[in-house]
Amino acid sequence: MASITGSTKYGEGHKVVLKEADKISASTKSILTKSGFTPGQTVFSIVRQNLKTLKVAKSIILAPGKDVIYMKDKNNKIILFSGSASSIDGLFNHYSENSKSDTGLLTEIKELISMYMFEEMVERGKVLSEDAVIKKLGSNGSKFSSVYYESSLKQTKTLKKKIKGKGFEYERQGKNKTEAVYKLARELSKKSNDNWNPADVWMIKKTFDMKKITNANSLDELNTSIANAYKKGEVYPISLKQVSNAEAEFNVIDASSQMNQKLEYDFKFEKVDLSDTYANFIVQTKSGFAVRCGFKASATTLNVSLEGRFIGAGYQLGAVDAKTFGPYIKEKFGYELRSGVGVTAAQQKKALEELKIIFGKYPRLSNTIKDFKHAEQLFKTADSLTKDRFANIISYLYAVVGLPKNTKQFEEVMTYCYFSSKKITTGACLYTILQ
């Protein structure tokens, strides 16, 4: 939630972006869409100055309430949002100009902020101030965001309740002491770093002998040594997720024990929403677990990615392993997913045929696409990039909801996505998560 209503932190020109469709009520989304704004995409800049002389182009009433905020859209038109503070703040996320071009750097900054704050709290029992964090970031201090800080503060307060004692060394994944650990894990597991252990920050007791881990001769021995070190309070591998709830949750993810447990979630089909731009879709189960499929990395990429999330939870679980999802679908259904460049007209035609089959199975596939004829018309009038994306993303939609012949098969696909998004796979290592 972007805390912008009545706040002095975010002044003239501060940018916010509408939250994604699944985090906005149907009525509000309808109002936004009719006004020409797109959830998850439309960016506004806050206007704080000369409010009495502003010429408002459009007023959007979100809920009963007396709070208001003025925004400027991409055409420099003034949009007035009114309602309660929570209805306004809950509509937006803070937007960073660097969110696409500097994704790696911003991720590093978020992790460093959390790491610095963990150390200050655990070792000295103090909360690191925003100014102190900015100073520690050095040349990257200009990219500091209060949103990152607020999330890290929630993580820190929750972590402090779980940690035994102090006297730790702190580092990001694959640095210093854990560099050799991840190298060994890649050799033994044949997995990428994150798919073996997605911990972003490691806390390791200064007195702990790392040879207890790096002398492992098998993957099972390696994973067991880390699990044992965690249970003794000597090693904490911590995965970090942006926290938007009132406080952070702390959970232990242990693949060796969790993969064999009966899940408490209902993975039966609930609904699906395919965007009319063919940029993404979300498949939701009755438990609230959902899989979002879309395009990442750049505005023109054709590489499809999946991620798991719980609707309304305020955080995402993580990415579904792209390297294993394709082979899983191939083995289960004998179907080849399409992703990446080199899309052909024949593949686009095949995607249309697949979408027609899906509409026959689930008449309601979208909040904005009425039926197959509407979807076909949108495809025919789309630009070449959208048509290529259509061919790829529909193959994933077909794999998730079209190919399963019954409820059991659909639940199996969702279960696979759930475990993969939480990095609970064969050979994965124990880690903790703050979210």
Q: β-pairing, 15-18 with 78-83?
A: unpaired
Phi, psi of 163 (to 5 degrees): -85, 140
Contact predicate 4/83, CB 8 Å: no
Residue 265 token pair:
């979630």
* DSSP H or E run through 309: strand 304-310
Residue 312 token pair:
């309304």
Q: Give which of 111, 120, 121, 167 is closest to 143, Cα–Cα.
A: 111
User: 161 CB contacts (<8 Å, ≥6 apart)?
Assistant: 250
State how far the alpha carbon of 44 is from the alpha carbons of 13, 24, 25, 315, in Å: 9, 17, 19, 23
Contact predicate 199/173, CB 8 Å: yes
pLDDT at position 89 = 86
Residue 341 token pair:
């460049």
Number of helices (H), then strands (E), belonging to the chain: the values are: 15, 16
Where do the DSSP E strands lie in 241-326? Answer: 250-253, 269-274, 280-285, 289-295, 304-310, 316-319
State how far the alpha carbon of 305 is from the alpha carbons of 144, 221, 273, 282, in Å: 28, 32, 16, 12
> What are the average pLDDT values for consecutive 10-residue runs of the chain, which has 435 residues?
71 85 80 90 90 92 90 94 88 66 78 98 96 92 86 97 95 96 94 92 98 95 95 97 90 80 88 96 96 83 93 80 92 96 96 97 94 97 95 98 96 94 88 95
Contact predicate 230/431, CB 8 Å: no
State how far the alpha carbon of 291 is from the alpha carbons of 102, 166, 283, 418, 426, in Å: 25, 39, 5, 8, 21
Domain boundaries, the chain: 15-94, 103-250+428-434, 269-421
Q: Where are the alpha helices (DSSP H) in 308-425?
A: 322-333, 345-361, 372-380, 384-397, 407-421
Max Cα distance, the chain (Å): 73
Q: Tell me the angle at which helices 146-160 and 130-137 cross, rounded to the nearest 10 degrees.
A: 110
